[in-house]
Copies of this chain bind each other. A is one copy, B any other.
Amino acid sequence: MIRFKNGITLDADGSVNTQNREVWVEGDKIAFVGIPSDEQLKSTIFEKEYDLEGNLLMPSFKNAHTHSAMTFLRSYADDMSLQDWLFKQVFPMEAKLTGEDVYWFTKLAILEYLTSGITACFDMYFELDDYFKACTESGFRTVMCGAISGDKSAVKRLEENYNRFNGKHPLVSYWLGFHAEYTADYELMEGVAQLAEKYKAPVSVHNSETAKEVAECVEKYGKTPTELFDSLGIYNYGGAGFHCVHFSSNDMEIFKRHGVWAVTCPGSNSKLASGIAPICDMAEKGVNLAIGTDGPASNNCLDMFREMFLMTALQKIKRGDAAACPADVVLKAAVKGSALAMGLDNCTDLSVGSQADLIVIDLSKPNMQPLNNIAKNLVYSGSKQNVKLTMCAGKVLYKDGVFHVGEDVNRIYARSNEQLEALKARN
């Protein structure tokens, strides 16, 4: 049993408890939450005790949209238009990627997630065996999202992956998905809808990231991407839309009707000049909200604190209202919404039986003082600097700046840089 004591706790609903509740972890699960009796303390053997020294213990952040392995493109092609970035830099480099590249670049990304208190990612990429290996070796939770594109021949591979990766490892699951409307033909999307029906499974996909994407879809099909997906039955069992920047009222109605999650990526959407998603409108209509960092090529960092501040700051700008998108809405999206968006419904709460996906926030840093309101401090002034400990499935993967991911960190840096140089040189 692992014991966290002498701390403050914050629950998934954002409520703070200062009554010195303890949280105990057995294996990968939370075994106790509360103020233990003397009897309980006497009868329990703790293999490890963490004295929180008044700091905050809370459920970890989850990242509902990313392409982890794209760390290799960080600071490689910034300050250029989205089209040039994607077609002249990203796609040509990606065409040369090997499985070994993906393995090391993913390991690098996982390190950064841990420094930001993120314990799970909804990840869309390729070279899946290598991605799987990087995550499981690191002890990091992931939901892989289908990323097929092109014609219907890809659908078979999607189904194979769905059956191959689900159930393979307790930290890994796989969800149906495809890259985007603009990289898929109609038959591919029909095929995905058939799989959704066959497995009664949700489908997740990039959706309405740019005005151009929506305009071209409307021109081609007479429907927005969301309307098109709806007409095909793709969202019949829910799922997630990544980005959702250029979203109509009807798009929101469709999301609401099917319980589809809108995953906002404000860092990426601002850096690539895609726009500001209508998060407040969505919230008012009751659309489910989650947050993603997007990949490090477009963001460029993997930092839930930055995403949280941007989520609310951009809404305040968009609405011209400093009261827009308050901190509690943001915090809920980052902790609980993002987990539920990828089907992780058992790692969001400080409750007995939940997966022990927990973080400790250092309140003894100047940006967390004074303690007027801890939840607002997290959203408005929190930073990676405040992440003292990150635990995934009961294992401490990061503590006081030191990683415990089964691999020397300097080797991950060195190998990432080596793979990058080899990739650049490759024809």
Q: Does the CB pair A383–B85 fall under 8 Å?
A: no
Q: Does the CB pair B366–A115 fall under 8 Å?
A: yes
Q: Does A47 contact B (CB under 8 A)?
A: no
Among residues of B, the one whose C-beta sits closest to the C-beta of A267 is B313
Q: Does A364 contact B (CB under 8 A)?
A: yes
Q: Does the CB pair B416–A369 fall under 8 Å?
A: yes
What are the interface flags for A364-406 relative to B under an 8 Å C-beta threshold, 1 for contact and 0 otherwise? 1111011111101100111111000000000000000000000
Q: Does the CB pair A380–B313 fall under 8 Å?
A: no
Q: Does A283 contact B (CB under 8 A)?
A: no
CB distance from A139 to the nearest CB of B (A): 16
CB distance from A236 to the nearest CB of B (A): 34
Give the oligomeric copy count: 2
Q: Does the CB pair B413–A369 fall under 8 Å?
A: yes
Q: Which B residues are CB-close (under 8 A) to A321?
A: 81, 273
Q: Does A316 contact B (CB under 8 A)?
A: yes
Interface residues of A, dominant DSSP:
helix
What are the interface flags for A269-300 relative to B under an 8 Å C-beta threshold, 1 for contact and 0 otherwise? 11111011000000000000000000010011
CB distance from A416 to the nearest CB of B (A): 5
Complex CA gap A326/B365 in Å reads: 31
Most buried by B among A115, A381, A413: A381
A-B CB proximity, top 9 nearest: A301-B381, A75-B376, A111-B366, A270-B313, A112-B366, A300-B380, A75-B373, A79-B326, A273-B316
Other 19 A-B pairs with CB < 8 A, given A108-B369, A273-B321, A303-B383: A71-B370, A75-B373, A76-B373, A78-B326, A78-B327, A78-B373, A79-B322, A79-B323, A115-B367, A269-B317, A270-B317, A271-B322, A273-B324, A300-B380, A300-B381, A303-B381, A306-B309, A364-B413, A366-B409
